[in-house]
Amino acid sequence: MTQYKMAASGLDFYYGDFKALKDISLNFVEKEVTALIGPSGCGKSTFLRCLNRMNDLIPGTRVDGLVALDGEDIYDARLDVVELRRRVGMVFQKPNPFPKTIFENVAYGLRVNGWTDKAAIAERVEESLQHAALFNEVKDRLHSSALGLSGGQQQRLCIARALAVRPEVLLMDEPASALDPIATQKIEELIHVLKDELTIIIVTHNMQQAARVSDVTAFFYMGELIESAPTKTMFTRPEKKQTEDYITGRFG
């Protein structure tokens, strides 16, 4: 039996009485990129946030069903949520660096995880910035404010910050939608490189982007998963009429 890196099965999610996700079952193969697509409000971000329990932070919400990481239920009461979020990192739509230096942004997660050895921290910070394809642009100003970087650089810094704690899965919620085309291209190139080591799940509104970066695409509509398939199949021979209508731009 294939052991999936992550798997959701029969997942329902409620904001109060509103059921935002209905019986979602979707598996994620290790080191593949999965794109979540669908019209605004269909539940893509809600689903993404279920995968590292970010929704726990929203009062009045409830989740039913199972989400597994390496076969283990992430909603188990005994699970350490801090460790879960170390293993399943997240990058958001708007770059959100802390008002600290570039160095301290990347070192942040290490310090939270108890690192104190200065040399080890410096080494991991450099490695993470290299990994996020940002090091060469910032190496001479590591101790300047991160807020002085361009939007695209800030987003790569946020990726470096997520990578510093060596996650196994990276959740990306429209990571390039606030960026210009050149910065977007850099993020897409980075996804190609990162998937050698990580399982990536990305929400995107941009169908061309989904087609370029992902191995598998999943189409959501009104809280339901309509279909998921290898990206090539999805964009050439979707099974469901709703998927076809969406990817050909007939709605959404």
Ligand X SMILES: Nc1ncnc2c1ncn2[C@@H]1O[C@H](COP(=O)(O)OP(=O)(O)OP(=O)(O)O)[C@@H](O)[C@H]1O
Minimum CB distance to ligand X smaller for 15 or for 98: 15
Task: Provide the minimum distance between the beta carbon of 134 and ligand X in the complex, in angstroms, as a whole number.
Answer: 26
Q: Where would I find the H helices in the chain? A: 44-50, 81-87, 102-112, 118-131, 135-138, 151-163, 181-194, 207-213, 231-236, 241-247
Cα 196 to its chain centre, rounded Å, is: 15
Alpha-carbon distance of 113 to 101, in angstroms, equals 19
Minimum CB distance to ligand X smaller for 27 or for 206: 206
Q: Which of residues 56-95 bind ligand X (CB under 6 A)?
A: 58
Alpha-carbon distance of 245 to 226, in angstroms, equals 12
> What b/e string do you get for 208-227 counting C-beta neighbours within 10 Å, with b at 16 or more?
ebbbbbbebbbbbbebbbbb
Binding mask 19-58 for ligand X (x = CB under 6 A): -x-----------------x-xxxxxxx-----------x
Cα 203 to its chain centre, rounded Å, is: 7
Minimum CB distance to ligand X smaller for 28 or for 219: 219
Minimum CB distance to ligand X smaller for 134 or for 226: 226
Count of residues engaged in binding ligand X, rule: CB under 6 A: 12
Task: Provide the minimum distance between the beta carbon of 234 and ligand X in the complex, in angstroms, as a whole number.
Answer: 17
Task: Provide the minimum distance between the beta carbon of 240 and ligand X in the complex, in angstroms, as a whole number.
Answer: 17
Terminal-to-terminal C-alpha distance of the chain: 37
14 binds ligand X (CB under 6 A): no
What is the contact surface with ligand X in residues (CB under 6 A)? 15, 18, 20, 38, 40-46, 58
